[in-house]
Chain A
Amino acid sequence: GQQVMQIPQYQHVQEGEDFTTYCNSSTTLSNIQWYKQRPGGHPVFLIQLVKSGEVKKQKRLTFQFGEAKKNSSLHITATQTTDVGTYFCAGEYGNKLVFGAGTILRVKS
């Protein structure tokens, strides 16, 4: 079935280090969305990528969509304690928005 694989499952970094999470789809995606969920909170939309090879930046966050539109990544430069949470990618499969399992980011100060 349709799957969105996300790695790693967990990442612990020292404050100031970089962080990357990767998302792979079993099929070509029309677009991909990224969400962040703080501990105890609800998912909040970060960005959507639509075009093949697209790169978007939001301050210290860089989002990429692969050329084949089957993979995506989120890179955070110089992590801060406010970056803690779970980062999800989500792909559209027919009627459904299917989420990856998420990457839990912990930042040690």
Chain B
Amino acid sequence: NAGVMQNPRHLVRRRGQEARLRCSPMKGHSHVYWYRQLPEEGLKFMVYLQKENIIDESGMPKERFSAEFPKEGPSILRIQQVVRGDSAAYFCASSPSYGQGARPEAFFGQGTRLTVV
């Protein structure tokens, strides 16, 4: 069972370009989370998605950022018109569905390191 797959691992974009980050969750996982991390800082929650639904996007900037998790295919985090401040590591995590019990552990991908030049 392959882990959470993110690609690309490294992405360089010029200011004003678009960045597309992909995340394939673990097989059987229907919950996807995106986090942003600056060097030697914590993981900042961005968005929580289930198949075809955005559950919580309270951590997403209102402009330029969007996320989706289609019925088929990977989850995509899209950043339009990138600026230098968007440079960071973006991690995706997935978890299986759960009922009334405690939230199961989140499995993280290797991350995409975005550099805006």
Q: Which residues of A contact B (CB under 8 A)?
A: 6, 30-31, 33, 35, 41-45, 48, 50, 86, 88, 90, 92, 94-102, 104
Task: Confirm or deny: B48 has a beta carbon within 8 angstroms of a beta carbon on chain A.
Answer: yes
* With A88-B43, A101-B42, A104-B40 as contacts: A96 and B106 at CB distance below 8 Å: no
Task: Confirm or deny: B25 has a beta carbon within 8 angstroms of a beta carbon on chain A.
Answer: no
Contact B108 A42 (CB under 8 A): yes
B91 → A minimal CB distance (Å): 6
Contact A99 B45 (CB under 8 A): yes
Contact A88 B103 (CB under 8 A): no
Contact A42 B110 (CB under 8 A): yes
Contact A31 B102 (CB under 8 A): yes
B99 → A minimal CB distance (Å): 13
Contact B56 A94 (CB under 8 A): yes
Contact B40 A43 (CB under 8 A): no
A91 → B minimal CB distance (Å): 10
Q: Mark B35-60, 1 if CB is under 8 A from A, else 0.
A: 10000111111001000000110110
B22 → A minimal CB distance (Å): 15
Complexed CA–CA distance, A30 and B55 (Å):
19
Contact A96 B110 (CB under 8 A): no
Contact A43 B56 (CB under 8 A): no
Contact A45 B42 (CB under 8 A): no
Contact B45 A48 (CB under 8 A): no
> Could you list 13 A-B pairs, sorted by A, with CB under 8 Å?
A6-B42, A33-B106, A43-B43, A43-B91, A95-B56, A96-B56, A96-B58, A97-B45, A97-B106, A99-B35, A99-B45, A100-B42, A101-B41
Pick from A43, A44, A48, A99: contact of B102, CB under 8 Å: A48
Contacts of A95 in B (CB 8 A): 48, 55-56
